[in-house]
Structure 1
Amino acid sequence: MNQKLRIGTRKGLFIFERTGHGQWRCSEPDFLGDPVSMALRDPRNGDQYTALNLGHFGVKLHRAEPGSREWKEIEPPKFPKSGEEDGPAVELIWELVPGGADQPATLWAGTIPGGLFKSTDRGENWTLIDSLWRRPERENWFGGGYDKPGIHSICVHPNNTRCVRLAISCGGVWESLDAGDTWAQTGQGLRAAFLPPDQAYNPVSQDPHRMVSCPASPDHMWIQHHNGVFRSEDGGHSWTELTDVSPSVFGFAVAVHPQDPNTAWFAPAIKDERRVPVDAKLIINRTRDGGKSFTALSNGLPQGPAYDLTYRHSLDVDDSGDLLAFGSTTGGLWVSEDQGDHWQCLSAHLPPIYVVRFDKQF
């Protein structure tokens, strides 16, 4: 089967199709000129979703049938009223993932501000998960790169779809074992270097930039944090900080091999106000031993001066674990067919890239 890549950019959705070894074809863009914050092809039924952030005109959500380019606008997540008062506006759909194989019409969405929403009818209607929204700890959540906190990572356990784990910037890591009815703060061991020492390990004040779990071993998880790389082997309850990471522990993106929980990829950069590659050289970091060592992968990537930054949803790996892709804020798109040993530039002239996702199977 030819592999497809969905590339959500500041100026539309582009779909790249792999037609042979090293050969890719790009479609004409959909939603040309519109900022695409999230894109998904549901692996259970082939439904396609695209979320837009139209600023003054608000957040929009569209769905297309399998294989179609005829998009239908559907209702996006929306905060309910509180009495006569309108709820806060959804400013961004920051994450969109399918439910389990036993939930063929279920979707989960994470937003800014930090709302978790669930749909059981293919996105036609959305329900705010009020049990998380009303947690008293939410008063201590705060914005990272955005002014308000947001949910950007949702991991549905493939073997127990009542288990949902998520990460919030800045609000730490949370877990529900009953499909969202109740929640527990997890994330022990995460460290926020930007806080005073006596508060650095407070789980509710953490800034995980991206959290992923290995599909074949879902209790093995990785986080690219604001100031570190962390690994968990117990479903995110406790985390180990990996300190021997070069050239930088800062970044936004992480992807994990679908079968091997010890193999993961990162896009390191200089943190805080700069947010550019270290030494203006673009690399992807890979570990194959659970974080004991890292290899800087640069064959085929620009080695200076290069100022491409990779956002948290802009690095992905396909079902085989061999095919990787990542995109940058300067419109570069690269793929590797050998786990990152060699890279091929598919385009250097796309609009700034917000999301890169392979079409996957279930």
Structure 2
Amino acid sequence: MGTSDRLSVATRKGLFLLERGARGWEIERCAFLGDPVSLVLDDPRDGTLYAALALGHFGVKLHRSDDRGRTWTELPAPAFPPEPGGASDAPSVQQIWALEPAGPDRPGALWAGTIPAALFRSGDRGASWTLVRGLSDRPERKDWGGGGYDQPGLHSIAVDPRDPRRLLCAISTGGVWGTADDGETWALRATGMYAEYMPPERREDPNAQDVHRLVQAPTAPERLYAQHHNGVFRSADGGERWTEITAIRPSKFGFALAVHPRDPRTAWFVPAVKDERRVPVDGKLVVARTRDGGDTFEVLRDGLPQDHAYDLVYRHGLAVDAGGDRLAMGSTTGGLWISEDGGDRWVQHPARLPPIYQVAFGQVALG
């Protein structure tokens, strides 16, 4: 695939759709203005747009567009089924926190991750959803805890491009879980991670790991990167074993992560100060890039604010397009930066946007 000329930006007050033309990146339209759009999927299989809204006491909404956001169709949002025996204590979905295509050879099939942490599947472009019981019924679920939210959330879904029955999911806080049989059975995949915030006896408990973001290398799916609450980790065997990346600077804390679409040794992170502050180190917004799988890092700052910058980049706020050179990054203060050269230099978009939850490139051209 080549370079993408369209970008979706999900914010606290709407979904902004940008296209790149002769005058650079311009906002073509805004959908759901004033509403918090928690997530967007620009499906690379057919160009369909999906937008998830988190409307508080009005509930979670899901919409689909087949014409690049000009018109939208409301879909049923993923929902927990009634408890057995008619019990009334079934949880309610508070947010859709992950939305991914279920494989290139499965048209219309989708995976969705939610808060509270659960995985749902759809086979009909979001027209209906089914809870993946194999994960939700795991006994370890009772020990999952909230990370940035009061309840645990499933925020990262990595589908193996070689075999769509194999996928990994990351939960904050509940570790990494993997399945090889399309969600029927699951196993923990966080061995080698550690949690500084846990008592010593649970420090290396795979079920206690707070993974902020999990991303798979598209051309080498066995290679994985994870931004954890207290470190950056990598795996070379599909998550069976993780090792810490200690070379990252200026800090090991952060949320966002992107991996090059063709070079599995190139990845980008956005370091910050953790816990009670959650701001860039020394008030300087930077991106850390590795080109050797995490052995060494460059700190990229050209075009990024270096004086009194307090922009935090959420876990879905950094994206790389299919070409591998174009990146986009959005922050909690509404800053949007785009790089055309792998992060060497960044240009800030002039729009003053609401706080940004996610940026996502479109990967196919519509007629």
Instruction: Place the TM-score, normalised by the shorter chain, in its bin.
Output: over 0.9
Q: Post-superposition shift, 1:361?
A: 4.5
More displaced stretch, 81-90 vs 104-113: 81-90
Unaligned runs of 5+ in 1: none
Q: 1:96 is matched with which residue: 95, 99, 116?
A: 99
Q: Post-superposition shift, 1:2?
A: 5.5
Contact 2:189 2:206 in 1 (8 A): yes
Contact 1:2 1:17 in 2 (8 A): no
Counterpart of 1:11, as a letter, is K
Structure 2: distance between partners of 1:357 and 1:67 = 13
Q: What SS does the aligned partner of 1:104 have?
A: coil
Corresponding residue for residue 74 of structure 1: 75
Question: How far does the alpha carbon of each residue in 1:234-261 deviate from its partner, in whole angstroms, 9 at most, with x for none?
Answer: 1111111011221100000100001111
Corresponding residue for residue 176 of structure 2: 173
Contact 1:264 1:288 in 2 (8 A): yes
Structure 1: distance between partners of 2:324 and 2:261 = 6
Aligned pairs for 1:9-88 (under 5 A) are: 9-20=11-22, 23-82=24-83, 83-86=85-88, 87-88=90-91
Structure 2: distance between partners of 1:43 and 1:320 = 13
Q: How many residues align?
A: 361
Q: Post-superposition shift, 1:348?
A: 5.4
Counterpart of 1:297, as a letter, is L
More displaced stretch, 38-47 vs 333-342: 38-47
Question: How far does the alpha carbon of each residue in 1:308-356 deviate from its partner, in whole angstroms, 9 at most, with x for none?
Answer: 0000000000001100010000000000000000000013510000011
Corresponding residue for residue 222 of structure 1: 225
Contact 1:331 1:347 in 2 (8 A): no
Structure 1: distance between partners of 2:176 and 2:67 = 33
Structure 2: distance between partners of 1:101 and 1:315 = 23
Structure 2: distance between partners of 1:230 and 1:252 = 13
Aligned pairs for 1:95-244 (under 5 A) are: 95-244=98-247
Structure 2: distance between partners of 1:360 and 1:148 = 33
> Are 1:317 and 2:320 counterparts?
yes
Contact 1:319 1:361 in 2 (8 A): no
Structure 2: distance between partners of 1:210 and 1:347 = 28
Corresponding residue for residue 6 of structure 1: 8
Structure 2: distance between partners of 1:258 and 1:320 = 7
Counterpart of 2:9, as a letter, is I
Q: Post-superposition shift, 1:198?
A: 2.6
Structure 2: distance between partners of 1:256 and 1:85 = 44
Q: 1:287 is matched with which residue: 287, 290, 303?
A: 290
- Mark the CA change 1:2 to 1:174 in structure 2 (over 3 Å): closer, same or farther: closer
Unaligned runs of 5+ in 2: none
More displaced stretch, 190-199 vs 121-130: 190-199
CA RMSD of aligned residues (A): 1.3
Structure 1: distance between partners of 2:125 and 2:251 = 40
Q: 2:268 is matched with which residue: 242, 265, 269?
A: 265
What fraction of aligned residue pairs are identical, expressed as a percent?
Answer: 56
Contact 1:301 1:343 in 2 (8 A): yes
Contact 2:4 2:362 in 1 (8 A): no
Structure 1: distance between partners of 2:220 and 2:107 = 22
Structure 2: distance between partners of 1:298 and 1:143 = 32
Structure 2: distance between partners of 1:249 and 1:241 = 10
Structure 2: distance between partners of 1:256 and 1:197 = 32
Corresponding residue for residue 354 of structure 2: 351
Q: What SS does the aligned partner of 1:178 have?
A: coil
Contact 2:4 2:364 in 1 (8 A): no
Structure 2: distance between partners of 1:347 and 1:187 = 41
Structure 1: distance between partners of 2:107 and 2:223 = 25
More displaced stretch, 131-140 vs 64-73: 64-73
Q: Post-superposition shift, 1:25?
A: 1.1
Structure 1: distance between partners of 2:351 and 2:332 = 11
Contact 2:4 2:323 in 1 (8 A): no
Question: How far does the alpha carbon of each residue in 1:125-182 deviate from its partner, in whole angstroms, 9 at most, with x for none?
Answer: 0000011001000011000110000100000101100001110000000100000011
Structure 2: distance between partners of 1:68 and 1:244 = 42
Q: What SS does the aligned partner of 1:56 have?
A: helix
Structure 2: distance between partners of 1:41 and 1:340 = 22
Q: Post-superposition shift, 1:68?
A: 4.8
Counterpart of 2:58, as a letter, is F
Structure 2: distance between partners of 1:241 and 1:61 = 37
Contact 2:231 2:252 in 1 (8 A): yes
Question: How far does the alpha carbon of each residue in 1:8-31 deviate from its partner, in whole angstroms, 9 at most, with x for none?
Answer: 0000000111114x7111123110
Q: What SS does the aligned partner of 2:250 have?
A: coil
